[in-house]
Amino acid sequence: MLSFFCKRGSGEQVEKVCSLDGASAGDPQAPGSPVPGLGSQMWSVVWAPEDDARLVTLVDNHLYYWDVQAAGKSAKVVGEVTVEGRGSVSLGSGRWYPHQQGSQIAATHGSSVRAWDLRSMKSSWCVEGAHMQLVRDLDFNPNMQYYLATCGDDCKTKFWDIRNTEQPLKELSDHSHWVWSVRYNASYDQLVLTCSSDQRVILSNLPSIASQPFGTMVDQEESKEEKEKAEGAEEGVIQTYDDHEDSVYAVEWSAADFWTFASLSYDGRLVINKVPRSVKYKQFM
Amino acid sequence: MASTDSKNERRRRTELLQFYGAGGKEDTPYDINSKHFNHDMYVQKTIKESSLKQLLEHESSLVSEIQSLDSDCQTLVYDHYDKFIAAADIVRKMKEGSVKMEAQISRLQENMARIIASSTSVTSALQERRGHLSRLLGVHGTLRKLEFLFHLPQKIDECIAEKNFAEGVASYVETAEVVHRYCHLSSFSAIHEDCEAAVGRLNQALKEQLALKEVSARHLTECVDLLLQLGEPAEGLCDDFLAHARTKLENDLSNLTKLAETAGGLGSEEEEGTEQGASEETSKAEETKEGLGREEIGDDSIRDGANLDILEFVDVCHETFVGNLWLVISSYKEMFLRSPEEGGSGSSNVAMEKLRVFVADLVEQYVAVVGVRVASEPDVGHYGQLTTALDKFHRRLHAITQLLPNTDFGNVALSLVLEAGSARCQSSLAMLKSGLASSLGDIRHALVAPRHPTQDGTESTHRQLNEHLTRLVASTAASIKDKVTALQAFTQPKHTFAVKAEFRRKFCRDLVREGVVVAFFLHITDTLLQFCHKKDKDPVLLLVLSRMCLDLHTSTVHYLLSHCDEQLQLEEKTGLTPLHSITDGMREAGQKLLNHYVHTQGSSISQMLRRSVELKDWLGCGEPRSVRRVMRTVLEEISTMDTQVGALYEEGNRRDRSSDSSRRTFHSVSASRGGGGGRSGWSTYTPSQLDNSLVANLNKLWSERIEIFAPVEFTRVSILTGIVKISLKTLLESVRLRTFSRFGLQQVQVDAHYLRTYLWSYVADEHVLNVLLDEVVTSASVRCCDPELMEQRVVEFICEQN
């Protein structure tokens, strides 16, 4: 069973929007116990980026596309996909495709990444064997239409062009254990955060696969060497944060400030960090 | 004088004494034979010591001795006297003989004087007659010469008709001077004109001969020589000569080219059957048969082309082309460059230059032809024949160089040899590479096939893996050694080209050492590294390969390189790839393979653990009665890996903590549940204390961070520790994703204890094991809805049941 709440007005009152419990509402059980119609494991819930009424849940090897009306009026499944595969590999985390009006959603599935077009509920593309083992998380480049980042149990972070999924564009192996999450900076997409169960958070600078800031395209050719000098040197890890004492499971950029991010580790510690000042200034120059 | 005498005597006596040895000891006054004999003392002694009877006997014996000595003395005196008388007789006879001889000799002298007188008288009587005779002989000679002159033109014509040019020219040259000298006389001028005409005809006939194509080189030389004697200008002649020689030599060359191409074609057509080849051969032979008789050698050799090896080919070259070239050069030199001082240095320089250009051109073609043949020679693995052929080739060209100053065909030949050498080196490298690939393939199959029946037999796995390893390393080493030995054929001192420093440097350093041995080692490193990226690899293979890298790193590369240097006599090492850069690469590759092995094995166990945690219903399970099956499987897998690793790697160091006694203290601590600040946090939990995960966090502050996928060392313990770390970390992460009931938590507790009990023997540092397992139980208890741990002794009891 899953319930949604929203905060209204001055913030004192939290209101339940709706609850998703499938076709038949089962009696409430212990948290996390099997909910009829939803399966045993709910791994991911994602809201559509531009539409409050749409969301997708990933349950076992099923994907449910919900239409949720405000104030708990109704919540119904408008689309469903079941991934067939050997064994019972469940879907991991999902992300909406931020371009094309959010018409696609991608989710990790075992060692692959799959994407579906929500208009037709059909598979649109797929990265088979993106990682040697489980893929833990994925993120789309907010500024480059086809670029995708994945991370997984082989301690690697990979960057893909979804038009050509044979070879990754780039591979990072800075972590020494599973990488649990990868996030692009919403504005400066050369800044990428990863967190891992080796208790570290790593901030990387990847100008080689980032979108070009406006203006640099014009004088690209004449100052190419200079640019390489300026940016090529800093390609790679900017800083490693080892403030955590246990596995770090989540990392997110701040929605308000481009330069702030938070990471959450198993021991319940939430660490908020800022991008180093020198890096920050370099982006403006 | 007396003193020296006595000295001498004494010396002699001492020598005699030394010789007779025992005599010295009896040198007393009592010895009757001694010099120091004192008859008084002797008598007294004898009388004192002997009885009467003995004295009587002694006396009689002495008397008899004295008598015998007397008689001996007498005979000696008689003998001497006889000999003296005989000698006196002989002297007297000799005196008489010499008187007779004197008379005979004086008679002989008289006779000799008479003979000398008569002989002088005879000589003086014959003097006059002899002068007359010699004058007559002189007149006869002159008449003969005149007759010869009159007949000369006819004779030359006859010679032309009989094609006996040599004689004609010889007779003309002999007489030409005389004719020229007397041509102002009318009778002689007629003869002169006739002679000139005849010589003109002779000249013509010789030139015709020269123009004919089929004349042999020797014949040609003769003609030109004769023409030269007739005073033809050398310039035009040498051009003619060279042009003619060129057609012939080119003919030879084209024959050789055919041969070379046949051999090349044969190499490729070998499988297609010799029938076709043979028919081609015969048709070719027929074609050439229609040609000229001179081509017999070429004709034959083409027919034999099918079974002509390179040595024979070079011999054929020598017989035809090189031999003729040699002949041409030497005869040319003889004819046109005979006397550079007299004939004017300018013209002979021009002639020399012509020859040089001519020879250089032909040799270039020749080298090209031989190059084709050498290139088509198949690589059979031993190069004795090839190098002998090359040596012959090189030596002959070198000889031509010596014949012709200011040329350097030796270098051209040397570069061809080098080319052949580098081709062999390349093919050797290719063979080594394919050999490596196939032996790797063999190992792969061998590892896949018979492993199942022997998996439980520790000893056999041991032996098998070791066997594979040694076979792989040994075969690699042996093949390298073989190749180096085979290539050594090029550097044998019996070959002249091998002695050249330039060749040695280029061949030994650049081609063999760098091009074959070092390149092969780098190839091994690359090939093995590729196994890190292949997906369908067998982990045991990775293990064997990593060990192979280590072996190569520690000894084999070093040994092989020094062996190679020794064999090739490389002393100067500058500019060569240093040993350590290869061995470092090997070590790095070994490390990567080993890391990869650990990761692969770790992840295969991880997979097992992860799925077992994910698939179990932790909320609905009953009270734990036994360790879960998967844990036992994990242990079995790890012990199998331990066997495999143990077969190839040494034990390595572990920390003291893993000793048995410390384990016991650990248990007692956990049993008494004392010491909240203890290292092993989980054991301090009491069922009511579960919330204080703070304690664990505090502990973590003090303990060092555990690097999970850290590089491992080349030891058994380090490898196994790596695998165990990866596996347990996975277990930890999987547990954190689940929710547990009380019994689920207790099951985890049991499993963790089971693992702790049995895994300690595999890890280097038990501390790591404890931290990770504590972490697992803590995580499970945090994810538990009703956290209550089991009694420690119940846990132990359950574990002991298994």
- Cβ pair A178:B733 closer than 8 A: yes
| B709 Cα to chain A: minimum distance (Å) | 5
Where do the domains of chain B lie? 2-49, 217-378, 427-449+459-595, 616-801
Task: List B residues 725-784 in contact with A (Cβ-Cβ < 8 A).
Answer: 729, 733, 736, 739, 779
Q: In this predicted model, which residue has the larger pLDDT, B342 or B481?
A: B481
- Residues B532 and A204: their CA atoms lie apart, in Å, by 26
Q: Are A189 and A142 in contact (CB under 8 A)?
A: yes
Q: Cβ–Cβ of B739/A32 closer than 8 Å?
A: yes
> Tell me, what's the pLDDT at B397?
77
Q: How many CA atoms lie within 13 A of A230 on its CB side?
A: 15
Integer CA distances (angstroms), B258 to B285, B303, B578, in order:
11, 11, 47
Please tell me the total count of domains within chain A: 1
Q: Which of A37 and B381 is assigned the larger pLDDT?
A: B381
Confidence of residue A150 (pLDDT cuts 50, 70, 90): very high
Cβ pair B626, B801 in contact under 8 A = yes
Residues B558 and B423: their CA atoms lie apart, in Å, by 26
Query: Residue B178: left (phi > 0), alpha (psi -120 to 50), or beta?
Result: alpha
Does A28 map to a domain? no
In angstroms, the CA B173 to CA B121 distance is 48
**Residue from B556, B568, B766 nearest B664 by CA:** B766
Whole-number mean pLDDT of chain A? 76
Beta bridge partners, A3, equal: A19
Q: Which residue has the higher pLDDT, B343 or B131?
A: B131
pLDDT tens by residue, B739-797: 888 888 888 888 888 888 888 888 877 888 888 888 888 888 888 888 888 888 888 88
Q: Are A267 and B707 within 8 A, CB to CB?
A: no
**Residue A198: inside a domain:** yes
- Alpha helices, H only, A213-255: 224-227
Is residue B671 within 8 A of residue B793, CB to CB? The reply is yes
Chain mean position to CA B759: 54
| Residue among A175, A197, A199, A241 with most chain B CBs within 10 A, to mutate | A197
pLDDT recorded at residue A71: 57
| The pair of three-digit structure tokens given for residue A204, joined into one six-digit string | 């990387």
DSSP three-state, residue B53: helix
What are B561-590's pLDDT values in tens digits? Answer: 888 877 777 766 667 777 788 888 888 888
CA dist A116 and A122 (Å) reads 5
Distance, in angstroms, between B524 CA and closest chain A CA? 26
Q: What is the percent of chain B with per-residue pLDDT over 70, rounded to a whole number?
A: 76
Which one-letter amino acid corresponds to residue A102? G
Is residue A263 within a helix (H) or strand (E), and if so which, with residue range?
strand A260-265
The pair of structure tokens assigned to B407 is 């040329």
Residue A151 has pLDDT above 90, yes or no: yes
CB-based contacts of A246, cutoff 8 Å, min separation 6: A199, A265, A266, A267, A269, B697, B700
Q: Where residue A285 falls among pLDDT bands split at 50, 70, 90?
A: low
Q: A256 to chain B, minimum CA–CA distance in Å?
A: 31
Residue A252 within any structural domain of the chain: yes
Residue, of B647 and B652, whose pLDDT is higher: B647
For B30, phi and psi rounded to 5 degrees?
Answer: -95, -10
Q: Say if A32 falls within a structural domain.
A: no
At A253, which CATH number? Answer: 2.130.10.10
Q: Is A33 part of any domain?
A: no
Instruction: Write the single-letter amino acid at B608.
Output: M
CB A49, CB A98: distance < 8 Å: yes
Q: How far is CA A136 from the centre of its chain?
A: 10
In whole angstroms, what is the distance from residue B261 CA to residue B305 CA? 9
Select from A30, A132, A197 the Cβ nearest to the Cβ of B733: A197
Average pLDDT for B622-631: 84
- Residue B206: how many CB atoms within 10 A of its CB? 21
State how far the Cα of A121 lies from the Cα of B389, in Å rounded to an integer.
77
Query: Which residues of chain A have a CB within 8 Å of the CB of B700?
Result: 245-246
Residue B303 has pLDDT above 70, yes or no: no
Q: What is the mean pLDDT of residues A149-168?
A: 89
Scan residues 660-719 of B and list those with Cβ closer than 8 Å to A: 693, 697, 700-701, 705, 707-710
Closest CA to B314 of B249, B373, B254, B383: B373
In one letter, which amino acid is B33? Answer: N
Which residue's structure tokens are 């693995």?
B381
Closest CB from A88, A176, A247 relative to B707: A176
Tokens matching residue B704: 């060092």
Four-residue CA torsion sign, B595, B735, A45, A81:
positive
Is residue A19 included in any domain, yes or no? no
Which pLDDT does position B27 carry in this prediction? 58
Question: SS3 of A30, please?
Answer: coil
Alpha-carbon distances of B62 from B23, B41, B58, rounded to whole Å: 21, 16, 6
> 3-class SS at B431?
helix
Q: Which residues of A touch B727 (CB under 8 A)?
A: none
* B619 and A CB contact within 8 Å: yes
Beta-bridge mates of residue A127: A113
Q: Which of residues 433-472 of B touch A (CB under 8 A)?
A: none
Across B192-199, average pLDDT: 75
Dump pLDDT digits (tens) for A28-70: 333 333 343 444 566 678 888 777 778 888 877 788 888 877 6
From CA B496, how far away is CA B395, in angstroms rounded? 7
With beta carbons under 8 A apart, name residues in chain A contacting B710.
176
CA distance B385 to B310: 7
**pLDDT value at position A11?**
40
pLDDT at B709 over 80: no
How far is B394 from B476, CA to CA, in rounded Å?
34
Across B79-104, average pLDDT:
82
Structure token digits, residue B447: 């590892």
Note the ipTM here.
0.76
Nearest CB among A177, A199, A242 relative to B709 is that of A177
Q: How many CB atoms lie within 10 A of CB A16?
A: 11
Distance in Å, alpha carbon of A264 to nearest chain B alpha carbon? 14
Per-residue model confidence as pLDDT tens digits over B467-516: 888 888 888 888 888 888 887 777 777 777 777 777 777 777 778 778 88
Whole-number pLDDT of residue A261: 93
- pLDDT value at position A182? 93
